[in-house]
Structure 1
Amino acid sequence: MTTATSDAAGLHRRSVVADTHNDLLCAVTARPVDQWAAFFRERWLPQLLAGGVDVQVLPVFIDDTYRPEGALRQTLRMIEAAHRLAAGNADAVRLCGDGAEVDAALDDGRIALVLALESAPGVAEDVELLETLYRLGVRIASLAHFGRTPLADGSGEDAAGSRLTRAGVAALAEMERIGMMFDISHLGAAGVDHVLELASRPVIATHSSARALRDHHRNLTDDQLKATAANGGVVCVNFFAPFLHEHDYTLDRLVDHIEHLADVAGLEHVGLGPDFVQEVMADTTPPCCAHPVIEGVRTDQFLPGLEGPAGLPLVTEALLRRGWADGDVARVLGGNVLRLFRDGLGKTAS
């Protein structure tokens, strides 16, 4: 793999690096229970360390095979996996519930892990379960993936023009009450607008890029970027190649999106949400089978050098090559997300 220059590598090491979307729990739970902690240590921890990751959001993503009947059971299973891998690797990671715990983990030289729900299929209309999941450590949640849920429509349903359902509005209010951060990634366009109209607390887009540069429903429009900034939130750019460009899958196209987000939303509202599809698929797709196609997009397309977390220093190098100042690079790498987590993660509404 290509490595960053010494100057970029030094800046990367000195900076807090936050990745707000890595589906590695899917890979962990594909193994037998007694291997969860060891598999994380052997397969994923070296990559996180090589990439300089200090804060790692762990989404709980439920495959379609578990929906709807087994969704809550698999949600609980993946949450348990996060707790077990944290306990089994306590020298290196810590599962965190608020900004103070994130800071304590960083001070100890450990990676701060934060649990998130991706689309919350195990909750459905029973929004009181959000507090149950909060008690189990979940601190971020979204309400939809590509399709329709009882709470909202995902971005694949944009043609319906749907806002949050009544239960979705209740879920947003409940999340703000208990201190669970709202994730607008994957939400349909009208739903994003609805959330930004209602939200009284900062939101996060854990893995979304700029629709002005790549007209795909998974990306956010300039108006949505501005509204997220006005809300005090942070948009974390997605590295998945087909969401960045039609065919030019290069690091420069990723940097184009980072720069566009910074220009439109403001530098203090930009972070990184890589969504390392290639590495997760390698751990979860049998050799006999082709990589799945999702929403017409092949999942074996990726940015060279950024197949997994170990390549993250290349982003620092690319930003420096574009003329970015060290302090601005550090804010995008993780400073902005760290500020957001310090201010709002796990904090109940007053």
Structure 2
Amino acid sequence: MINSYVGGVIYDVMAHHGIPGNRAEVLRSTYLPRWRKGGLEAAVVQVSNWPSINAYFAEIDRSEGEITYCRTRADFDNRPEGSFGIFLSLEGHGPFAGDFEALHTLAELGVTTFTFSHNLQNLLCTGSNERFGEGGFSHLGKQTLQELESLPMMIDLVHMSRASFWDALDLYDGDLFVSHSNADALCPHPRNLTDDQIKAVAERNGTIGLNTFRGYVSPEPLKATLSDLLDHAMYMYDMVGPEHLSIGADYCESPVEMLLPVLDMIDPDGAHGIKGRGRELYTYGPEGLEDASNLGAIATGLAERGLTPDEVDLVCGESYLRMLERSRPSKP
């Protein structure tokens, strides 16, 4: 199983790497046991600046082979037996915004994905939670899309306003995906996808990662369950098929105190039911999926809902790997 969105871990990683002289191995000591228990074989982790990239490379190098850095599908398929795969995804709306030459360096380093937003307005586009949510891509955002056309990076449309989403489809000809969102029809929220958006991602050969954040699983988030998330999976399965579904399990992972200011920041006036509720919404996932050690329940649940073993394999990683191979072909 591959999780196409592991965001919160970076706060814990950076906190340890910021201690002078600390040769931190946060992934190996804290997260790999939990991930492996849940059946994960690889994760896509988020980076946003050079220090975060440096920290992950240091973690990988210090792991004594327990972690393999993956640039392509071949890197994942050929990693040593038992080694955990790590892919890097860039949240590019921070210090890299407008640095087009850095994009070429990052692509050469093997960063697989570019993400334009984290829920609010930035230099590149409007996010899903912004008050003027119909805003789309800025001129700089459009120029960034044009630069990315020539690079082997996938474009992740997560966290965007719907206007930004449709701008991206109009402006960019390559494959597009959404790393961690659910179906708006089952849980209305600007972070989830409408039927038209789900179909549009499928038409672009992309996947939609099933998101475990309780506020995006159920209209009553404190009552969210594994069954509710499986309802999202089956809703999208019936619409576009298993080849367009993946796992985008957005868990808190880091100590929740590190994430609370971020959650308040992305919903500053409380319009989306998150501000002031980060601890209760994000400390644990839905019942039956409380943390990443429970992720195997998704595969079991999909099989119980009638998916074949091959279809379950698609959702649990194969769909993501096929998309990656198209964007970033493995070298012979």
TM-score, scaled to structure 2: 0.87
Q: Specify the SS of the correspondent of 1:58.
A: strand
- How far does the alpha carbon of each residue in 1:145-196 deviate from its partner, in whole angstroms, 9 at most, with x for none? 1111111111112634222112111211222212111100001101111112
- The answer as to whether partners of 1:178 and 1:346 remain within 8 angstroms in 2 is no
**What SS class does the counterpart of residue 177 from structure 1 fall into?**
coil
Q: Which residue of 2 aligns with 1:18?
A: 2
Name 1:31's counterpart in structure 2.
16
> 1:59 is matched by which residue type in structure 2?
Q
Using a 3 Å threshold, how does the CA distance of structure 1 residues 256 and 51 change in structure 2: closer, same or farther? same
Structure possessing the higher relative contact order (Cα contacts under 8 Å, 6 or more residues apart): 1
1:312 shift after superposition: 0.7
Aligned to 1:194: 167
Change (3 A) 1:346 1:36: farther
In 2: Cα distance, 1:290 partner to 1:130 partner: 29
* Other structure's SS at 1:57 match: strand
Contact kept, 8 Å, 1:99 with 1:344, in 2: the verdict is no
Partners in 2 of 1:100 and 1:160 — Cα distance?
39
Return the match for 1:299 from 278, 281, 292: 278
CA distance in 2, matches of 1:174, 1:121: 17
Gap regions ≥5 residues in structure 1: 1-16, 62-74
Q: Residues 34-45 of structure 1: matches in 2 within 5 Å? A: 35=22, 37-45=24-32
State the Cα distance separating 1:125 from its structure 2 match: 2.6
Residues 194 and 291 (structure 1 numbering): CA distance in 2 closer, same or farther, change over 3 Å?
A: closer
Q: Tell me what 1:258 maps to.
A: 233
* Residue 322 of structure 1 pairs with residue 305 of structure 2: yes
Aligned to 1:92: 66
1:94 corresponds to which letter in structure 2? T
Shift, 1:330, TM fit: 1.4
1:67-86 equivalences under 5 Å are 75-86=49-60
Question: Which residue of 112, 118, 125 corresponds with 1:139?
Answer: 112
| Alignment check: 8 A CA contact 2:247 2:316 kept | yes
In the alignment, is residue 268 of structure 1 matched against residue 268 of structure 2? no
Task: Tell whether the 8 Å contact from 1:144 to 1:151 is kept in structure 2 after alignment.
Answer: yes
Contact 1:28/1:36 (<8 A) preserved: no
Change (3 A) 1:158 1:233: farther
1:309 matched to 2:296: no
Residue 219 of structure 1 corresponds to 192
Indicate the residue corresponding to 1:333 in structure 2.
316
Where does the alignment leave 5 or more consecutive residues of structure 2 unmatched?
none
- The code of the aligned residue for 1:30 comes to A
TM-score by length of 1: 0.83
Q: Output the aligned Cα RMSD.
A: 2.3
Please report how far the alpha carbon of residue 290 of structure 1 lies from its aligned counterpart in structure 2 after TM superposition: 9.1
Secondary structure, aligned partner of 1:20: strand
Task: Give the paired residue count.
Answer: 314
The alpha carbon displacement at 1:114 in A equals: 0.8
More deviation in 96-105 or 253-262? 96-105
State how 1:116-131 maps to structure 2 within 5 Å: 116-131=89-104
Partners of 1:307 and 1:27 in 2: CA distance = 19
1:203-238 Cα distance to aligned partner (Å, 9 max, x none): 121111111111101111110111111111111111
Note if contact 1:210-1:220 (Cα within 8 Å) is conserved in structure 2: yes
Contact 1:147-1:153 within 8 A present in 2 as well: yes
The CA deviation string for residues 61-108 of structure 1, in whole angstroms up to 9 with x for no partner, is 5xxxxxxxxxxxxx1111011101111114221112222222222x64
Query: Which range moved further: 93-102 or 76-85?
Result: 93-102
